[in-house]
């Protein structure tokens, strides 16, 4: 008889969701329990396993409450202290839940919460669920169990094989839901392309030893298939507990984090600012060059014709006249046609051409009136 697969709500697989790593998250009731007290979360870059304690109608309430609270309080990007605070918030939610009559007194859960993004992983840990790193086909346990047998193992009283099958193996020394001053273990690691992360509940590790887990993880390149094979191995070995498994493959060296994308956006904005500023400067330079070489005729306040460097008018309040020279020619002495031409402020490509045109106007006025209106020219500049 095959074990019942738990509800779809609790399982997820992801392949290239935005910039995140491919993963598979699965939870399974096992072969001997009537309910699944494990809760899992796969919301990249956040992943978590919580194993409920306290029996029917308590363990599953505690683990679900812890996962919901973690999801609501977790940071948006990899941030170990913030992740630890989110696990502490989950702890407080269970304590308050017990006070409010939710679930049963004594309910609690383990929590292994992991955030991984842009080559960095943060882990917050309470209890005996675990995080492992598979690198170069070698499996390393990142977290330390908060359990009686783990303490016995550390002090050298038992071997790791004895610990795995010890009758007190499920007695944990730290869990969410009892101590408001709960201490949360924290781990930070750099992850490399080709690494594989595993988060699991003790339903896997009490049934399948690390060597067998390593073999399965190395045999299956697809994280979904690897997760299913780990659950199948735990069930084949007895499936006495609920089994939760999350496999995450680090398949890129530095996938872009939100922060990277934001900084790249700023880079593009900066590039545009520089380009637009450059364009404005080029236009201003062109306008300046053109207006400085241009010239126009005008009439001064004393009625004398002026020869001006630049063009008539202004741009944004800046006058485009760079120099003004007063001639000795009075506008009233010019022919009627030339007078209206001068009053229209005619422009020329150069000062020289403006002066020559004024000279011909003076000659026309002289031949028209028979009088000498004076020598055209620019004897002096006015500031």
Q: What minimum distance in Å lies between the beta carbon of 239 and Mn ion?
A: 12
Q: What minimum distance in Å lies between the beta carbon of 202 and Mn ion?
A: 4
Q: Given the complex with Mn ion, which of 195 and 241 has the nearer CB atom? A: 241
Q: Given the complex with Mn ion, which of 24 and 36 has the nearer CB atom? A: 36
| Strand bridging mode 108-109 / 111-117 | unpaired
Q: What minimum distance in Å lies between the beta carbon of 238 and Mn ion?
A: 13
Q: Which residues here bind Mn ion, judged by CB under 5 A?
A: 51, 201-203, 241
Cα–Cα dist 93/54, whole Å: 16
Contacts for 201 with CB less than 8 Å, ≥ 6 apart? 27, 38, 49, 51, 110, 129, 241, 242, 243, 244
Other beta carbons less than 10 A from residue 159's beta carbon: 10
Cα–Cα dist 165/183, whole Å: 27
Nearest residue to Mn ion, using CB? Answer: 51
Q: Given the complex with Mn ion, which of 26 and 201 has the nearer CB atom? A: 201
Q: Given the complex with Mn ion, which of 145 and 241 has the nearer CB atom? A: 241
Q: What minimum distance in Å lies between the beta carbon of 55 and Mn ion?
A: 12
Contact 241, 44 (CB under 8 A): no
Cα–Cα dist 61/66, whole Å: 8
Peptide bond into 45 cis (omega under 30): yes
Cα–Cα dist 151/172, whole Å: 10
Closest among 66, 74, 65, 64 to 43, alpha carbons compared? 74
Q: What minimum distance in Å lies between the beta carbon of 183 and Mn ion?
A: 21
Contact 303, 346 (CB under 8 A): no
Q: Given the complex with Mn ion, which of 119 and 203 has the nearer CB atom? A: 203
> In the chain, what is the straight-line distance between the N-terminal and C-terminal CA atoms, in Å?
105
Cα–Cα dist 181/166, whole Å: 29
Q: What minimum distance in Å lies between the beta carbon of 151 and Mn ion?
A: 18
Q: Given the complex with Mn ion, which of 169 and 224 has the nearer CB atom? A: 169
Q: Given the complex with Mn ion, which of 97 and 203 has the nearer CB atom? A: 203
∠ CA 135-136-141, rounded to 5°: 35
Q: What minimum distance in Å lies between the beta carbon of 205 and Mn ion?
A: 9
């Amino acid at each position: 008889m095959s074990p019942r697969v738990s509800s779809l709500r609790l399982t997820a697989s992801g392949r290239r969701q935005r910039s995140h790593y491919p993963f598979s998250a699965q939870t399974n009731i096992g072969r001997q329990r009537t309910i699944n007290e494990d809760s899992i979360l796969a919301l990249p870059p956040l992943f978590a396993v919580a194993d409920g304690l306290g029996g029917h109608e308590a363990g599953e309430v505690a683990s679900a409450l812890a996962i919901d609270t973690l999801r609501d309080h977790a940071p948006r990007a990899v941030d170990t202290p913030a992740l630890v605070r989110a696990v502490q918030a989950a702890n407080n939610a269970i304590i308050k839940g017990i006070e409010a009559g939710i679930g049963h007194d004594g309910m609690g859960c383990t929590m292994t919460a992991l955030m991984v993004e842009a080559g960095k992983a943060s882990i917050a840990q309470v209890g005996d669920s675990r995080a492992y790193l598979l690198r170069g086909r070698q499996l390393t346990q990142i977290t330390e169990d908060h359990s009686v047998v783990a303490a016995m193992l550390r002090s050298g009283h038992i071997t790791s094989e004895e610990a795995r099958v010890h009758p007190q193996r499920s007695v944990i020394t730290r869990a969410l839901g009892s101590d408001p001053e709960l201490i949360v273990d924290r781990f930070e690691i750099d992850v490399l392309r080709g690494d594989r992360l595993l988060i699991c509940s003790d339903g896997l590790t009490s049934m399948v030893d690390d060597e067998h887990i390593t073999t399965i993880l190395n045999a299956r390149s697809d994280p979904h298939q690897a997760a299913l094979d780990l659950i199948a191995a735990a069930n084949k070995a007895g499936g006495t507990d609920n089994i939760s498994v999350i496999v995450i493959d680090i398949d890129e060296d530095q996938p872009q984090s939100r922060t990277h994308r934001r900084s790249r956006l700023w880079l593009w904005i900066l590039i545009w600012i520089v380009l637009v500023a450059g364009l404005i400067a080029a236009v201003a330079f062109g306008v300046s060059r053109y207006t400085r070489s241009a010239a126009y005729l005008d009439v001064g306040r004393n009625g004398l014709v002026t020869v001006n460097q630049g063009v008539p008018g202004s741009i944004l309040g800046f006058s485009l006249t760079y120099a003004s020279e007063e001639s000795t020619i009075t506008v009233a002495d010019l022919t009627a046609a030339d007078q209206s031409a001068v009053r229209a402020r005619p422009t020329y490509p150069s000062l020289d051409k403006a002066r020559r045109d004024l000279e011909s106007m003076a000659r026309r006025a002289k031949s028209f009136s028979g009088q000498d209106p004076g020598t055209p020219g620019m004897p002096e500049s006015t500031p």
